[in-house]
Amino acid sequence: MSGAALIASGLLVPTVGAAGIALAGRWPDLRESITLGTAALLFASVLALVPQVLAGGRPQLFVLELMPGIALGFRVEPLGMLFALIASGLWIVNSIYSIGYMRGNEEAHQTRFYVCFALAIAATIGIAYSANLLTLFLFYEMLTLITYPLVTHHGDAEARAGGRVYLGLLLGTSIVLLLPAVIATWWIAGTLEFLPRGILPPGTSNATIGLLLALAMFGIGKAALMPFHRWLPAAMVAPTPVSALLHAVAVVKAGVFTVVKVIVYVFGVDTLAQLRSADWLAPVAGFTIIAASVIALRSDNLKRRLAYSTVSQLSYVVLAGALLTPLSVVGAVLHIAAHAVSKITLFFAAGAIYTASGKTEVSQLDGIGRRMPWTMVAFAIGALSLIGIPPAAGFVSKWFIFSAAAAGAQYVALVVLAVSTVLNAAYFLPIVYAAFFRAPAAGSEAHGEAPWTMVAAMMVTSILVLGFAAYLGVPLALARALAGA
């Protein structure tokens, strides 16, 4: 199959799958079989593109030229290839997990959930394969709108309030900040196509580049740079599989993916480094890392703690991108992948705890590891990874980021990374300790593990976390191809 056909299949398979899921809504087993089959077919389609991209090819598909220099088109480059692999691969695992969660909690509107999830993945693939800023922006907005029904799934006052914050901040930042940056970029450069060394013409002033960069970085609200981060904890009113989608599979990854793609393909790493237009970005990312970690440390609600952990971890990617070296770009790309497998494991564990025991607060987890050993071992693996303990995935990506900061004598970045690592340990390790080494509270109900599909999904992602170094070859090759390293 040609590259263009594979790109088309990546967009069409989840879209057609969503229609099939909707038609099978009256038959849950069939509906979920279609979900799993669609996810597997999409992953196969994405995987088939990897050899071409690793060989230096850039498969493309152009659909429509809207006006000179502006087209709806797709081109698969290394960063998009990795993002598509993450989204399509984790969709399979998340679908397995969702079967146990949605049935175990007797959730309403399950067909709508699976349909919206499939459409969200289709939008994510559109973002990953985008050939230019216009295509990326359109699918970026589509992802926001499609995930809104997932965030407000429960339909109660709390869900609606969380949904308003979610929609308001994400649409507000993209329309008020990102869209003007896109329009101004087209006006200055005469094109919106992604090019390896950037598209801004020589002679563009430092002030202009700095302003465009600020509009873009804060306009990419899904990256959750402070102060535009509150949508992420607000969205925790959603069911846990949706939280996993938001934090690991699609939404926040679309944010940091866009940050890296804009830095590399619109502004150009060398241009930003020479003009020092991005000097402000590293301190903003560093502040977000530390402040979000402190909030996570003080949060007793487990999903809220994980949400602010995500806000912090996303800014590792932004910080690495802002260091503007090939090595730091490699670290940023690898952390997108490492955070995905680690954070989905943590959210899977949180959902399993809720399904089996109804517990939602960190202070309620004393001794729970004795009753849910598989779940809490998975939680511990995900936590140790994000702290940066070898050989887990988070250690690998953080090693590259630390190395880039050290090589560039970026002492502020090194301090931020060191302090945040201590804070990561401070808000994760007490949970693990309490789960395994404290006695359960008197009178607490006995319970076992969550449904087996949920446990199986956690085991798969835990293996991915621990085995990251073993399959590092493809992600590292794609990251180096992007960075020119």
Summarize pLDDT for 172-198 with one digit per residue, the tens. 999 999 999 999 999 998 889 999 888
CA 347 to chain centre: 13
- Which helix (H) or strand (E) element contains residue 464? helix 452-466
Mean pLDDT over each residue of the chain, to the nearest integer: 90
Return the pLDDT at 248: 67
- Which helix (H) or strand (E) element contains residue 75? strand 70-75
Task: Say whether pLDDT at 237 is over 90.
Answer: no
β-bridge partners, 74? 61, 130
- Residue 373: asked if its preceding bond is cis (omega within 30°), the reply is no
CA atoms of 413 and 286, how far apart (whole Å):
7
Q: What is the mean pLDDT of residues 202-219?
A: 90
- The three-class DSSP label of residue 74 is strand
360: nearest Cα among 297, 306, 300, 307: 300
pLDDT tens for each residue of 301-348:
998 999 899 999 999 999 999 998 999 999 999 999 999 999 999 989
Percentage of the chain surpassing pLDDT 70?
Answer: 96
Listed range (16-20, 63-67, 203-207, 405-409) with the worst mean pLDDT: 63-67
Q: What band does 203 get if pLDDT is binned at 50, 70 and 90?
A: confident
CA atoms of 329 and 248, how far apart (whole Å):
20
Q: How far is CA 384 from CA 123, 433, 434, in A?
A: 31, 12, 15
CA atoms of 126 and 63, how far apart (whole Å):
12
- Which helix (H) or strand (E) element contains residue 72? strand 70-75
Contacts (Cβ under 8 Å, ≥6 apart) of 264 = 79, 196, 198, 329, 482, 483
Q: For the chain, count helices (H), then strands (E).
A: 22, 2
pLDDT tens for each residue of 242-291:
766 666 677 888 999 999 999 999 999 888 888 777 889 999 999 999 99
pTM equals 0.93
Return the pLDDT at 152: 85
Return the pLDDT at 326: 92
**DSSP calls for 109-149:** -HHHHHHHHHHHHHHHHHHHHB-BHHHHHHHHHHHHHHHHH
Contacts (Cβ under 8 Å, ≥6 apart) of 208 = 188
Task: Say whether pLDDT at 69 is over 80.
Answer: no
pLDDT tens for each residue of 130-143:
999 999 999 999 99
The strand ranges marked E within 313-449 are: none
pLDDT tens for each residue of 149-178:
888 877 778 878 888 888 899 999 999 999
Return the pLDDT at 183: 93
449: nearest Cα among 95, 91, 100: 100
Task: Say whether pLDDT at 299 is over 60.
Answer: yes
More reliable by pLDDT, 386 or 276: 386
Q: What band does 86 get if pLDDT is binned at 50, 70 and 90?
A: very high
Q: What band does 110 get if pLDDT is binned at 50, 70 and 90?
A: confident
Task: Say whether pLDDT at 103 is over 90.
Answer: no
Return the pLDDT at 100: 83
